[in-house]
Amino acid sequence: MGGFSLELNEDQTDLRDWVHGFAKDVIRPAASEWDEREETPWPVIQEAAKIGLYGFESLATWFADPIGLSLAIATEELFWGDAGIALSLMGTGLAAAGIFASGSPEQLAEWVPECFGTEDDPKLAAFCASEPQAGSDVAGYRTRARYDEATDEWVINGQKAWATNGGIANVHVVTAVVDSTLGSRGQAAFIIPPGTPGLSSPGKIKKHGMRASHTADVFLDDVRIPGRCLLGGKEKLDSRLARAREGQKSGGQAAMATFETTRPTVGAMAIGVARAAYEYSLEYAKDREAFGRKIIENQSIAFDLANMKMEIDAARLLVWRAAWMGRNNVPFTAGEGSMSKLKAGEVSVWATERAIHILGGAGYTRDHPVERMHRDAKIFTIFEGTSEIQRLVVARAISGMYIR
């Protein structure tokens, strides 16, 4: 019987080194350009597709890791390269996770490849959950889906906000209300196939950070999709709604099921950015001289760097624990998934701010990447559940009470 070990196996170290090489050689040299252009970095996506880094096969391989760490390892390395470009590569994975969380095996086989396209013609996918008046408040969603029994079609109307790849995606995964009397338990997730009439987007939103990643509102105006595009199928939905109407547990709802699957991965994203800022500021402090000595020889600078390293490593351990638990179906009895995302997100914002401070005036300029890293990091305390929502999840889990 093997003993406890935190050492990565050969497959995981090979994966880490492979992705790190791509992040170092392809992503980093392009980071500043695509941040300034605020455009989707299609050439980088194409390069990633050519080597098999972007595609459903790689994502499936990472998910298949029985230890559960491969996806977190790859994600950290990509975001170490650059967060905006990395999110352009990883955003499709959120939609794929939505299909995985709610879809049937047949739907996974049909639609996940459509999310990514091919090596020669890569595509994107979008997961559309948030709305203008409802982000963290998933029970407040207003987008409606109505079943047309005569044509076996679902008709969807509403507006989605802050959708990564929204409007430019090949496949959109959309959450919608099918029974408004049941709150969040009356929701379902749907596939919007490529080219479906009625789906539109006004264009990319200009953002504080993650500028290379496309974020947009998505409008759904009498969008008609085949009945088979309801993730999980109508029989499963009807059964779940019946249980909810009777007051029984319904097994959760579509948006939260996806977020629980992806929160440790978002934590890994945040760690990648924090680590990049830490490493850059460490090298800067070892090289920069002031008052006749390297600035790292000052305790205030050295202690900042020591704290950065400690906090990043602690956050990574929380992410790895949650990733292992999720892969091995160990229940998050204390909100461990939310813990990992909460800690990593706040560490990323703090560490990138300290990196700017260590560089001083230089860190505030675009001549050094820590300025961009700081802008990119802020979103980790906001999207896929704010820090306050993560604390709420943990508080409810440890207390067993419905804390508001």
What whole-number percentage of the chain has pLDDT above 90?
Answer: 86
Return the residue matching tokens 């700017």: 356
Q: Report whether CATH 1.10.3720.10 matches the domain 254-399.
A: no
What does pLDDT average to over the chain?
94
Architecture of the domain spanning 125-246: Beta Barrel (2.40)
Average pLDDT score over residue span 88-97? 94
d(CA 131, CA 304) in angstroms, rounded, equals 39
Burial of 149 (0-12, 13-18, 19+ CB in 10 A): exposed
114-118, 136-140, 336-340, 365-369: least confidently modelled range? 136-140
Within the chain, which residue ranges are assigned CATH 1.20.140.10? 254-399
Average pLDDT score over residue span 160-168? 96
Active site residue 384: yes
Q: How confident is the model at residue 259 (pLDDT cuts 50, 70, 90)?
A: low
Q: Which of 259, 239, 265, 258 is nearest to 250 (CA)?
A: 239
d(CA 143, CA 160) in angstroms, rounded, equals 8
Please enumerate in sequence order all residues whose Cβ is within 8 A of that of 359, keeping only pairs 6 or more positions apart, or say none.
281, 284, 288, 368, 370
Q: How confident is the model at residue 141 (pLDDT cuts 50, 70, 90)?
A: confident
Return the residue matching tokens 């624990």: 321
d(CA 61, CA 54) in angstroms, rounded, equals 12
Given a cut of 70, whether residue 251 has pLDDT beyond it is: no
Q: What are the two backbone dihedrals, phi and then psi, of residue 235, each rounded to the nearest 5 degrees?
A: -60, -45
pLDDT tens string 272-309: 999 999 999 999 999 999 999 999 999 999 999 999 99
Given a cut of 70, whether residue 225 has pLDDT beyond it is: yes
Catalytic residue among 39, 47, 384, 388: 384
Within the chain, which residue ranges are assigned CATH 2.40.110.10? 125-246
Given a cut of 90, whether residue 256 has pLDDT beyond it is: no
Given a cut of 80, whether residue 310 has pLDDT beyond it is: yes
Architecture of the domain spanning 10-122: Orthogonal Bundle (1.10)
Question: What pLDDT score was predicted for residue 1?
Answer: 43
Average pLDDT score over residue span 238-252? 79
